[in-house]
Amino acid sequence: MNKHQAIYAVTPTAAVIRGDEAFDAAGNPVAYDEAAVQAYMAANSYKAKRAAAYPPITDYIDGIVKGDTAQVQAYIDACLAVKQEFPK
């Protein structure tokens, strides 16, 4: 989650962001609440951390295709461990 994504999420009128300044579709400056942006980033930072830590989905698919229940369970266990490491 980067700051620009957070600004877009909490400021629906923002169409363009340059640096830390937001503008509407007509190019007019748009004020946004910095505290709300920071809170949004903090509340959603777990998503990027989880995405980077999850094992590749191909491990799961390979286990399914081979009928290897141990491999499938290992994948599920790894995903659950990531969820524990980076809780919501």
pLDDT in tens, 6-63: 999 999 999 999 999 999 999 999 999 999 999 999 999 999 899 999 999 999 999 9
At residue 1 the predicted structure's pLDDT band, cuts being 50, 70 and 90, is confident
The whole-number average pLDDT for the span 74-83 is: 98
pTM of the model: 0.65
**pLDDT of amino acid 86:** 95
Q: Where are the domains of the chain?
A: 1-45, 54-88
Question: Rounded to whole angstroms, how far apart are CA atoms 71 and 62?
Answer: 8
